C-alpha cells in the first residue's frame, strides 16, 4: 500500500492590510536613513552607507523593499549633470 504525503490544512491566510508598517524605532539605522532622506537635498548612496555601515546593495534594497513596499513611502531619485544620484522622500 502506497503512502500518500500528508497535506497541511489550508487555514485562512492573514489578509494584508493596506496601511503601511509602523514607523522605525528612534535611533535605528532605518531611522537614520529616513532622516537623511527627509532633508531638502536628500542623500546619496555613499552618505546613507556612511550613516548605517551598510553596503550599497543593502541601501538600495532598503529603499525599494522597506521604504517603498513596506512603509508605503514615495522615494524620489534625481540625477543632475556632474552630480551623484540623490534620493529623497516626497
**pLDDT band per the 50, 70, 90 thresholds, residue 24:** confident
Domain assignment present for residue 15? The answer is no
Range of the domain at 83: 29-89
Phi (first) and psi of residue 89, to 5 degrees: -90, 140
- Asked whether residue 24 is domain-assigned, the answer is no
Please indicate, yes or no, if residue 54 is contained in any of the structural domains.
yes
Dump pLDDT digits (tens) for 46-80: 999 999 999 999 999 999 998 888 888 899 999 99
Number of domains in the chain: 1
- Residue 11 falls inside a structural domain: no
Residue 53 lies in a domain: yes
* Closest C-alpha among 26, 31, 27 to residue 73: 31
CATH number at residue 63: 1.10.10
Asked whether the whole model's pTM tops 0.85, one would answer: no
Nearest to 77 by CA among 30, 31, 35, 45: 45
Amino acid at each position: 500500500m502506497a503512502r500518500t504525503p500528508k497535506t497541511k490544512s489550508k487555514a485562512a491566510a492573514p489578509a494584508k492590510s493596506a496601511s503601511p508598517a509602523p514607523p522605525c524605532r528612534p535611533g535605528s539605522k532605518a531611522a537614520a536613513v529616513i532622516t537623511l532622506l527627509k532633508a531638502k537635498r536628500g542623500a546619496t548612496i555613499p552618505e546613507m552607507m556612511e550613516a548605517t555601515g551598510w553596503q550599497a546593495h543593502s541601501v538600495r534594497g532598503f529603499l525599494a523593499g522597506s521604504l517603498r513596499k513596506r512603509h508605503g513611502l514615495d522615494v524620489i531619485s534625481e540625477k543632475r549633470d556632474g552630480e551623484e544620484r540623490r534620493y529623497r522622500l516626497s
